Structure formats: structure tokens, C-alpha cells
Structure 1
Amino acid sequence: MKATFQKYILNFKQASGTSRGVLRTKETFFLILRKDEKFGIGECCIFRGLSADDRPDYEDKLQWLCNNIHLERIHLLSELSEFPSIQFGLEQALLSINSEEGFHLFPSKFTKGEVGIPINGLIWMGSESFMQQQIREKLKSGFTTIKMKIGAIDFEAERKLLKSIRKEFNSNEIELRVDANGAFNPENALEKLKRLSELEIHSIEQPIKQGQWASMAKLCAQTPLPIALDEELIGVFDVTKKKELLQIIQPQYIILKPSLIGGFEGSNEWIRISEERNIGWWITSALESNIGLNAISQFTYNLRVTIPQGLGTGGLFTNNIESPLEVDKGKINYNPSKNWVLNLK
């Protein structure tokens, strides 16, 4: 078996804002396997400034993987333990090359196009008018769960936007989630959570920056609305450390991004540990192309999820890989009548 990798730059249709800055492009890498007439592909989706494996030797490690692809899977994954996005790319590529149809990593009713996965509609940060426009579009498209990124513009303006949705739709009609990406200060976070809870918010992701375990634990104990850990999980590779983190902080939910936490194996380990502690979870994509999003979606469906997941990022790019993935009426679906179009070397 031969392995190569290819860098690919995804271009956003419009600049997308987070509390960490504005995104216009997104770098990713495709791991390509070939054996006889068979072909396999996986996506190593590094997230600059956020991924634990955002390191100067990232491409060197990809090359090491290509040079040593003949080694056993368990040895490769162990060697890549500090490179979660490469681990995930390898998992995908191996499933792909060993599948009957290269993009059906987990064949199911989802890949047959019979069942979709409920997802949230993502509202990116920006001006108040821009955020209002996104909200209107998502509601018109049939989403019943909205996730709004907050922390970039004035808190009162963001609360006003959420309040405008609540005036029109109650919590039984529209579920509201917010993601602060660590934008709040520990000193004022609880007060902001109290004000958000008045609007019947489902949950808030990462209200304060990761790494402040004592402050986050206190917040989770006192919060009037459920808290979901997101960035907090990044870079925590050891199973003992994972248990310690959840035992100390005791969040209401955790958010699983396979590209950032070690792919399918990393996600399954977090799920097992969280369920032992009665902590809820859901899965979110991390700006992958449709290659990675396809893998995450199929994996997620097989977990028999019932609440909306965060898998709606595929439509953000002008040059995404053409695929059978479609978003319709608040669900992501796989349309078998559509083809994959790979314009790769």
C-alpha cells in the first residue's frame, strides 16, 4: 500500500467570525491510500490556533505516516497520539480503502439516503444585521435548533438577538444554543449565564477559556443553564487525565470534535467516560471539507443520536469537495443519487 498527502485550502463564501478572530480560509490535508486498484481517502483537518497538533512538524509527521504506512494500525495510531487530526485522517483512509464503496465508511440507513441526522443551524458572529439575516435564513430553512456564536459584539446586542427569537418562538418550537468560545471572564460569567437563562437557552459551550478547571467547576456547579465543554477537551490525550477533568469540572455536556480529539477512537473514549458520569454529549464538525464531514456524519448516525448535532458546516465553502451530503429542513442527509467529485492530484 502506498500513501501520499495533499494540502487543500478551503475558501469561505463569506468571512466567518468567532471570538478568536475572522476566518476567510481553512487549511486541511487529504491522506490518500492506494493498493492495487483500490483507493482510500481521509481528511487530516488541522485547525490553526486551536488544534493541539498545530505544530511546525505537522507536515513532517504526515510524511512519516506515508513512509511508514506498512506498519500495523495500532502502532501508527500510537505514534500519532499527539496528532489527533492525523489519527482521524488515518482512521478514515483505512476504512475507505477497505470498504466496498470508498465513501461508505459506516454503511447504514444514512448512507442509503433513508434517514437524516438532525443538526443545529449555525449563526456566525458579525454585525447585528448580519446575524439577524443568518437567523432569518436558518428559521426559513426549517431549523428547529439554532446555535449562535457569541462574545464578539456587545453582550447586550447578542442577548437582544436571542430575545427577538424568543419573542416569536418558545423553547418548544426553537431550541437555542450559544457558543462563547471562552469569551467570558470568570468574574462576570455567572451573571451573564443568569441573564441568558432568562431566555430559556438550551446550553452554552465553553463560557470561559479552557485550562481554568477550578473556575469552570465552580461555574458548572452554580450555573442556571447547562454548560458544555468544547475547547477544554483539546490536548487531553491520556485516559486518566480525561477522567480527572470530568470528575473535577462535572459539566452538564461535552462537545466532541473528532478532528481535535483523536478521531473515532478518541470520541468513543470520551463518550464512554462521560456516560459513566451521566454527562451528556453531542458531536460537532470542525470546519472539515465534505470528506471529513462525511466520515463524522456516518460515525454519528451509528451512535444512534437523538438530539441535534453540530454537522452543518459543509455549505460554508466556495470550493468544497462535491458530495452527496445535503442539508434540508434541519437535517443532514446523504443523497445516493449524487456523485463524489474529487479534483485531486
Structure 2
Amino acid sequence: MYDIKIIPYRLHFKQPAGTSRGTYTTRDVWYIHLTSDLYPGRIGIGECAPLPNLSCDDVPNYEAELIHICRHVTETGAIDHELLRSYPSILFGLETAFMHLKTGSSAFWDTAFSRGEAGIPINGLIWMGNYAQMLKQIEAKMSAGFRCIKLKIGAIRFEEELSLLHFIRSHFSVNEIELRVDANGAFTPMDVMDKLKRLAELDLHSIEQPIRAGQWEDMARLAASTPLPIALDEELIGINNPVDKQRLLDMIRPQYIILKPSLHGGIIGGHEWIDEAEKRNIGWWITSALESNIGLNAIAQWCATFGNPLPQGLGTGSLFTDNIEMPLEIRKDCLWYKP
């Protein structure tokens, strides 16, 4: 009934993408090409893109697991969501391939975004680098008209990072530009509160993952007393069971969570996180995880169904020299779909 072909693809960054965990120059993804006699003449394409040394399904035999799982799907004609909770990037690829096949369009839901009537507000992402490199990025984003800028911090001296933030604030007030920072777990439980206090003086919107994941008690104490709203990102990775999701949110009580379908349970897992967060008055936004435009479009289509007014993390489509063409474009600080 269904046939799946798996196509490996290597993406190349235009510029090295620096994080506190290292620097990316290439990105390996796998495309699922799904066909079926039920939908003659159509192809459903999904992207499976685990992040090295971060995704819970970043395993040495990933491609073999992908082949095995896809064979099971072709035999049964369905996605076993419970079976795939531990493989969020594969689940996301299959979910979106099926949606593409069934809709016959890269616009998976009927929204103002998919009709080309509205853009999704996004943040301008500043990658880690030396002071001069980061300053150049900041000036480019400000000139482009971004109203929300997110800086990756934790790689250079903290005083230099504060200087960059002061530079932005000296030109734009909190009412003109929203500032977010992402520490990727770079701070320690011993020094984090002092750093949060200094960052809070700059009227920041939030900080992502100030200490490394897995320190629930420390993170809970931090979230309860922080002068700066905390958003969890890496903390959500590997928390795939609904009961564990509830337990994490109940214990830490962050101000925000950040959802990346390839890392945090695909579309179905994302809905679970959002439902549990909203029950607890925890804010959230959606971010891509360095997928190509195939995955980015799928995430944006899903994101548009919520109407979340916060700037989303969907500005990664222009990172690669050999990206896949999709009807997406950034205009000022919004991502638009061109139907």
C-alpha cells in the first residue's frame, strides 16, 4: 500500500555555526519519499534530522534504525507513535511525509500563513563567535528590521557578551527590540544567579537553558527565584513519556518551554508539551533545529495553526549553501509562505 525511499543528504553551512557544544560546518539529514496507490501521482516528503551529540535518537546505527522503522510502516500502513517516542526525528519525518502525501501540498493546514496572507514573526539569530563576528551579525539583523534578537552566549568571555548586549540596548530600548539569550547550559549552579542578575539589568525577555540539562532540583530553585524568565530547551530532550513531561513541568515550573519537533517528540509530542504547559500557565514558542527548508516548512505550517504572537525561532532557512528550494522567504522579521 505504501512505499518509502530514504535519501541521505548533507547540508553545508554558509558560515560555521557556533554553539557552546561546538561548531557545525555540515549537517546530515535523511529525506523520506513516501508514495502510495491510494494517492496516485503524489509524493510525500519528510525530513529526519537528528542533531549530533544532542538528539535522544542520535545513535550510531541511525540509518539502519530508520530503514527498519520505515519497513514497519510500509508493512502496517501506519505510524506506531508509541513505538517511535524514542525516535522523535524519525517520527517527525514520517508524520510530515504522510501529511504532505495526503494533502498533496506543502501547505499542510489552512491558515493565514499557508494562504500567504500573514507572516510568522521570528527572532534574528546571532551565532557564537568572537566579539567582532557577533557584532557584525547584530548590526546586520538590526539593519534588516528584526524586532527580536536572540544571542547564543557562553563561548566567549561573559564581559564581552554583556558588552554586545549593552551595544544593542544603547541603540534600541526594550520597547523597540526584544532580546533573548541562549546559554545552551554553559553556566554552573554556582555562578548562574550572579550572571542572571547582571543579564536582567539589560531588560532581556528570557534566557534559554542557563545550566545544563538533568539538574532538575537546581533548575527548579533557579526558576523559582530568577530575576530573568527561564526557557527550557535541552531539558525537554529525551522526556518522551506524557507522565514524565508532567513531572518535569511540575517540578521545575519554568517560565517558558521551547519546542523543536525533531527533538521533542514530533507533532504529536509537541501537542502534548503545549497542552501540559498551558495547564500550568507556562509560555512556549516553537523553533527549528537546523533542518533544511523541507523540515522548516513543516514546522512553520504547524506553528501557524496556533497563532502564538511571540516571535518564533524559524529563521534558519538561509544558513545553508545547498538548501532545498521551498516557497519560504523572510521579509524583515517575519517568515512568509508563498502559495
> What TM-score, normalized to structure 2?
0.97
**Residue equivalent to 2:25:** 24
Cα offsets for 1:71-129 (capped at 9, x unmatched): 1535x22222210000000000000110132x121232212211100000000000101
Indicate which of 182, 196, 199 corresponds to 1:196: 199
Which structure 2 residues correspond to residues 223-242 of structure 1 after superposition, within 5 A?
A: 223-242=226-245
Indicate which of 255, 258, 267 corresponds to 1:255: 258
Indicate which of 74, 88, 113 corresponds to 1:84: 88
**Residue equivalent to 2:123:** 120
Cα distance in structure 1, aligned partners of 2:116 and 2:286: 20
Partner secondary structure for residue 323 of structure 2: coil
Which structure 2 residues correspond to residues 178-189 of structure 1 after superposition, within 5 A?
A: 178-189=181-192
Q: Unaligned 5+ residue runs, structure 1?
A: 337-345
Which structure 2 residues correspond to residues 74-223 of structure 1 after superposition, within 5 A?
A: 74=79, 76-101=80-105, 103-223=106-226
Partner secondary structure for residue 73 of structure 1: coil
Partner secondary structure for residue 190 of structure 2: helix
1:64, distance to aligned residue in structure 2 (A): 1.3
Partner secondary structure for residue 82 of structure 2: helix
Cα offsets for 1:181-215 (capped at 9, x unmatched): 00001100000000000000100000000000011
User: Does the alignment pair 1:283 with 2:281?
Assistant: no
Query: Percent identity of the aligned residues?
Result: 54
User: Does the alignment pair 1:308 with 2:311?
Assistant: yes
Cα distance in structure 1, aligned partners of 2:115 and 2:244: 39
Partner secondary structure for residue 335 of structure 2: strand
1:298, distance to aligned residue in structure 2 (A): 0.6
Cα offsets for 1:37-70 (capped at 9, x unmatched): 2210000111011000011231122111232223
Moved more, 4-13 or 52-61: 52-61
CA contact (8 A) 2:180 2:204 kept: yes
Q: Unaligned 5+ residue runs, structure 2?
A: none
User: Does the alignment pair 1:40 with 2:32?
Assistant: no
**Residue equivalent to 1:55:** 59
Partner secondary structure for residue 231 of structure 2: strand
Letter of the 1:78 counterpart: E
Q: Tell me the number of residue pairs that the alignment of Structure 1 and Structure 2 aligns.
A: 334
Letter of the 1:150 counterpart: I
Partner secondary structure for residue 298 of structure 1: helix
User: Does the alignment pair 1:73 with 2:74?
Assistant: no
Q: CA RMSD in A?
A: 0.9
Partner secondary structure for residue 8 of structure 1: strand
Cα distance in structure 2, aligned partners of 1:123 and 1:193: 19
**Residue equivalent to 1:321:** 324
CA contact (8 A) 2:42 2:104 kept: no
> What TM-score, normalized to structure 1?
0.95
Cα offsets for 1:292-321 (capped at 9, x unmatched): 000000100111111100000010000000
Partner secondary structure for residue 43 of structure 2: strand
CA contact (8 A) 2:32 2:47 kept: yes
Cα distance in structure 2, aligned partners of 1:73 and 1:283: 26
Cα distance in structure 2, aligned partners of 1:79 and 1:213: 27
Letter of the 1:131 counterpart: M
Cα distance in structure 1, aligned partners of 2:115 and 2:282: 32
